[in-house]
Homo-oligomer: A and B are copies of this chain.
Amino acid sequence: MTERVLQYLQEQRETLLDKLNAFLAIPSVSTMSAHNEDVKKAASFVESYLEDIGFTTVERIETKGHPVVYAEWMGAEGAPTVLVYGHYDVQPADPLELWESEPFEPTIRNGRLFARGASDDKGQVFMHLAVFEAFMKTEGRLPVNVKVCIEGEEEIGSEHLYEVLQDNQSRFDADFSVISDSGMVEAGQPTILYGLKGFTGLEVTVRGPNRDLHSGLYGGAVKNPAMALAHLLSSMKNEEEVVTVAGFYDEVEPLSERERTLMNASPGEDYCETTGVPEVTPEKGYTAKEHTMARPTLEVNGIFGGYQGEGTKTIIPASVTAKLTCRLVPGQDPEHIQDLLVKHLEAHTPRGTTLSITREPLSARAYKVDPEHPLLQKAAASYAKAFGKEAVFVRMGGSIPVVETIDQLYGMPVVLLGFGTPEDNLHSPNESFPLDSYDRGMETLVHYWQAVATK
């Protein structure tokens, strides 16, 4: 059975690539209202494709924003049901002048397909559709029951998807979910991403005098808000990268020796080389890989106040602001951590100042599946068959809010089957996707659907 499906994909390769190119040619930029019609066109493309394949229910769920395309094929009696999520919208292409070929005229160069959305996420969505087509055309059925949810607002925060997921729980419910919207640690290296970080944040403004003051006439009487902010931030994290906010680590799940070994064994970038820093500075007691993948962080994303022009202006600034965000790990509750940050700031407010705190309204819990979970072990085996290389197991410091939402709402495991590579230039000019990932990724999916067909 596998052979015939794989043969179909090989024989139809040119036809399928032409079809993918037609999908990528639609400039479905969700952030720009000028592209609203294009976004709809991309939704229609997905709908028609699913209908052509033979999905029995194909519908467009309208929202206040861009529609969600839903479809299902439930003919695999006794087999599990999977929810496949993806998105058909893309980031803007600007700055256009930096593209070597037109962002919406897909072009192959050096074994890569260049186009906006080639990797994130139209290319990977298309791989799923093509694999479903191959099964249906050769076997007349899919190995598992499939529900498909492809949204059009991922690049603008999936605002309306959450409502749809909440309002249609029986429709979207499944045994597990598969998402191909991420990448591998390096090209050709099968990667099982089994954990994502959560997220919370806030903005704090330290206010001193009611206006910028002459530093000569008031220096010594009035607290300098920028120096006060420096003391305040220093009170939150020490020079060994340990967050010193009371309670911050209380609920953090300890990192097992086995996980530490897995993480440290995974290939990864040489941070000094890729970022130019003179040395890495992880939390005391942890490696850089362990900290980025599995320990919580507190970062200052921006800081500003007072005179920022050329030369010197001898003032005491009226106020200074810092933007702070945390990446959280399993066990940490985002709202609770935000509370702890606020409490810490209020308790450490420097004398002679007042604070204004704005809580970041968005937040997310961390997500983690046991790497020993059969669904992940089967994914690793499928990857290995297709790529000829054992999979590595990693966690990621980033957050994918939809993963957390599916986890929270449906309590189902989410399997992240990503085929991107670090060189894909997501969100940047010259986005591309390696054809090797495209071919072997589809092969991985073929193996995977068969591997998970029996519970």
Contacts and interface: CB of A to CB of B under 8 A. Distances in A.
A295 to B, nearest CB: 6
B221 A352 contact: no
Contact of A229 (B230, B275, B283): B230
A300 B217 contact: no
Interface string A219-246: 1111110110111111001010100000
A291 interface: yes
A327 B226 contact: no
Copies in the complex: 2
Interface residues of A, number: 82
Contacts of A289: 221
A245 B225 CA distance: 19
A131 interface: no
Interface in A306-324: 306-308, 311-317, 320, 322-323
A362 B312 CA distance: 10
Interface string A401-443: 0000000000000000000000000000000000000000000
A449 to B, nearest CB: 30
B299 A316 contact: yes
Contact of A219 (B224, B227, B299): B299
A31 interface: no
Interface of A: 197, 199, 201, 208-211, 213-224, 226-227, 229-234, 237, 239, 241, 271, 275-283, 286, 288-293, 295, 297, 299-308, 311-317, 320, 322-323, 325, 327, 350-354, 360, 362, 396-399
In the A-B complex, list the 9 residue pairs whose CB atoms are closest, starting with the nearest: A220-B291, A216-B398, A302-B306, A226-B300, A210-B276, A230-B233, A302-B307, A219-B297, A209-B275
22 contacts: A210-B275, A213-B275, A214-B397, A215-B327, A216-B396, A216-B398, A217-B396, A219-B297, A220-B288, A220-B290, A221-B280, A221-B291, A221-B292, A222-B277, A227-B233, A280-B352, A281-B351, A301-B315, A301-B316, A304-B308, A307-B323, A311-B360
